[in-house]
């Protein structure tokens, strides 16, 4: 079967290239290129990425002016006065058909440097504050937005055991731990979000284990275009009461929590296994 | 009623002192000092806090050595060769009776600079990798650990409406959004975690609104010692199967998700309102 080449953008957040994460990243880049895809990588540590969103992110500021993260970001984005490092990452996002965020799970979230990539690259007017606000449409977000039509996937390593992240595991279900990222960071500006690829117990991976890791990841990379995304509900598609933005009482009646924002009617068996908890 | 003075440590993560967050922080410090408490503040932006955990966090390294985040952290902590900024923050944590993390909710989590405080200050041997691992005791964590006996609370501002964070709100329930922080970052190394104090719709707060914000926060600060913590389940208290670390089948039978890690038997009405979703 002939595969159409895609543009794949990997954002990589590990401090050591000779780590498991580094080896997995190298494998992914090679594998994707061999399949004919274009690949770009932002290796945040190697780039010396600035993690802290602050007043210096707008190149043109009035002296003594109070810094307002949203207002300043909005102005800088609209006026083309964003710091160059931010604009470059936005350009890579526009270029990409698929975005992969690769990171080790540190304290049940992303490393600070990757959070700082989100905080800064996700400018007001680019990733939020997009589209009209009215009684039926509360901005282009959660299923609409600048990044609509693109796909995104998390590629995560965890030191702990898989059972610790199961539905009744002590850390909480992995899909719930990742929900603020998958729904709040990826789906929010429009991405279709593929089920995450998580590698557990990374301190116990020998050579044979690494081969298995690459095989499993290779299958995911070969099916980036076909894999069904998590069927999160669109904000402006009629499922939510606007402006309260609560789920309509007749949908998932009596239930609450992250799971109700996945539309089980359109979920494939694999998705529902991954997201219903 | 006479109040015993406490040591309160506020970790503050907003880039602009003249922001609502800055004003709230100033109020909190004044209010606590007037009540006789000792207060220390780590203003991460003002301190120029380094957000990125990396090889430079260990002052003594072999040239060319592969950097392993946990191993290096463990060695630096044990040998007293941590960077001074990390050691100083650990000392403040040891000093504190109560720790307050104050931050604006950015992309459903903490700003990168605060995540970087956690990533770096939470050294191996200090906040994780503590205690014996056996068939009945899987390390001193989730209810035990270096910071046991201390209390912690999140003080969070959110631009969105409260209804967006309700049990059926589109962003997900606020207690679930904060679970990876409250359970995974605060309860994990031993803190008793008080219900969070969240201020919503922060772009719409006028002077009268700010007065109400201070009144509500003042009540929380006056009751830091008496407020019942969220009754998270202890890892090594018999509720979990070790080493799988899944909740015993007879507890919260048939249920899953973050909520099952709160022990409803010991929850007060206020707690269960805050944590059962």
Using one digit for the tens of pLDDT, what is the confidence trace for A251-266?
Answer: 999 999 999 999 988 6
Contacts of B220 (CB under 8 A, 6+ apart): B153, B194, B197, B227
- Contacts of residue B258 in chain A, CB cutoff 8 Å? 172-173, 176, 257
Supply the mean pLDDT for chain B: 94
A108 reaches B (C-beta below 8 A): yes
Neighbours of A5 (CB within 10 A): 12
Cβ B119–A106 below 8 Å, yes or no?
A: yes
- Contacts of residue A51 in chain B, CB cutoff 8 Å? 51-52, 112-113, 116
Cβ B256–A170 below 8 Å, yes or no?
A: no
Question: Exposed, middle or buried by CB within 10 Å (0-12, 13-18, 19+), for A53?
Answer: buried
Supply the mean pLDDT for chain A: 94
Residue A220 to chain B, least CA–CA distance (Å): 26
Residue ranges and CATH numbers for the domains of chain B are 7-237 (3.40.50.360)
Binding-face residues of B in 175-194 toward A, CB within 8 A = 176-177, 179-181, 183-185
| Mean pLDDT, residues B124-130 taken together | 97
Residue of A119, A163, A181 with shortest CB distance to B112: A119
Residue A4 to chain B, least CA–CA distance (Å): 33
Residue B85 to chain A, least CA–CA distance (Å): 16
How far apart CA B211 and CA A230 sit, in angstroms, is 43
Binding-face residues of A in 30-49 toward B, CB within 8 A = 45
Using one digit for the tens of pLDDT, what is the confidence trace for B195-210?
Answer: 999 999 998 899 999 9
Which pLDDT band, with edges at 50, 70 and 90, does A133 fall under?
confident
Q: Is the pLDDT of residue B272 over 50?
A: no
| Mean pLDDT, residues A139-165 taken together | 97
pTM of the predicted protein model = 0.95
* Contacts by A201-209, CB closer than 8 A, 24 or more apart: A201/A158, A201/A159, A201/A160, A201/A161, A201/A162, A202/A20, A202/A104, A202/A157, A202/A158, A202/A159, A203/A159, A203/B70, A205/A20
Residue of chain B whose Cα is closest to the Cα of A46: B54
How far apart CA B49 and CA B86 sit, in angstroms, is 10
- In this prediction, the answer to ipTM > 0.90 reads yes
B237 reaches A (C-beta below 8 A): no
Using one digit for the tens of pLDDT, what is the confidence trace for A37-78?
Answer: 999 999 999 999 999 999 999 999 878 889 999 999 999 999
Ranges A162-166, A197-201, A202-206, B93-97: which has the least confidence: A202-206
Cβ B176–A177 below 8 Å, yes or no?
A: no
Contacts of A259 (CB under 8 A, 6+ apart): A252, A275, A276, A277, B257
Binding-face residues of A in 204-233 toward B, CB within 8 A = none
Q: Is the pLDDT of residue B269 over 80?
A: no
How far apart CA A46 and CA A52 sit, in angstroms, is 16
Cβ A52–B112 below 8 Å, yes or no?
A: yes
Q: Tell me the longest C-alpha to C-alpha distance in chain B.
A: 61
CA angle, B226 as apex, B221 and B230 as ends, to 5°? Answer: 95
Residue A149 to chain B, least CA–CA distance (Å): 21
A166 reaches B (C-beta below 8 A): yes
Note the pLDDT of residue A2. Answer: 53
- Contacts of residue B170 in chain A, CB cutoff 8 Å? 142, 235, 240, 245-247, 261
CA angle, B61 as apex, B55 and B64 as ends, to 5°? Answer: 80
Cβ B53–A106 below 8 Å, yes or no?
A: yes
Structure tokens at A156: 């995560």
CA angle, A19 as apex, A176 and A46 as ends, to 5°? Answer: 90
8 Å CB contact between B53 and B116: yes
Ranges A53-67, A73-87, A233-247, B31-45: which has the least confidence: A53-67
Residue of B52, B68, B119 with shortest CB distance to A107: B119
| Mean pLDDT, residues A109-122 taken together | 98
Residue of B119, B168, B240 with shortest CB distance to A256: B168
Residue of B55, B177, B244 with shortest CB distance to A180: B177
Nearest to B177 by CA among A263, A271, A128, A183: A183
């Amino acid at each position: 079967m002939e595969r159409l080449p895609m543009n794949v953008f990997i954002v990589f957040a590990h401090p050591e290239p000779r780590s498991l994460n580094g080896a997995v990243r190298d494998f992914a880049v090679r594998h994707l290129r061999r399949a004919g895809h274009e690949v770009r990588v932002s290796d945040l540590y190697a780039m010396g990425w600035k993690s802290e969103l602050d007043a210096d992110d707008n190149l043109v500021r009035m002296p003594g002016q109070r810094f307002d993260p949203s207002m300043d970001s909005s102005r800088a984005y609209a006026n083309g006065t964003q710091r160059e490092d931010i604009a470059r990452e936005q350009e890579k996002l526009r270029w990409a058909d698929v975005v992969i965020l690769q990171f080790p799970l540190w304290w049940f979230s992303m490393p600070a440097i990757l959070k700082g990539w989100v905080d800064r690259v996700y400018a007001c007017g680019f990733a939020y504050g997009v589209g009209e606000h009215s009684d039926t449409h509360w901005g282009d977000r959660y299923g609409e937005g600048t990044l609509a039509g693109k796909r995104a996937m998390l590629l995560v390593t965890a030191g702990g055991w898989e059972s610790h992240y199961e539905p009744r595991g002590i850390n909480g279900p992995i899909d719930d731990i990742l929900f603020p990222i998958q729904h709040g960071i990826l789906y929010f500006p429009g991405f279709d979000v593929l089920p995450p690829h998580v590698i557990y117990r990374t301190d116990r991976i020998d050579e044979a284990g690494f081969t298995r890791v690459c095989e499993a990841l290779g299958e995911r990379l070969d099916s980036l275009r076909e894999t069904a995304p998590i069927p999160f509900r669109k904000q402006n598609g009629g499922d939510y009461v606007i402006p309260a933005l609560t789920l309509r009482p007749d949908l998932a009646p009596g239930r609450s929590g992250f799971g109700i924002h996945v539309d089980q009617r359109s979920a494939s068996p694999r998705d529902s296994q991954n997201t219903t908890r």
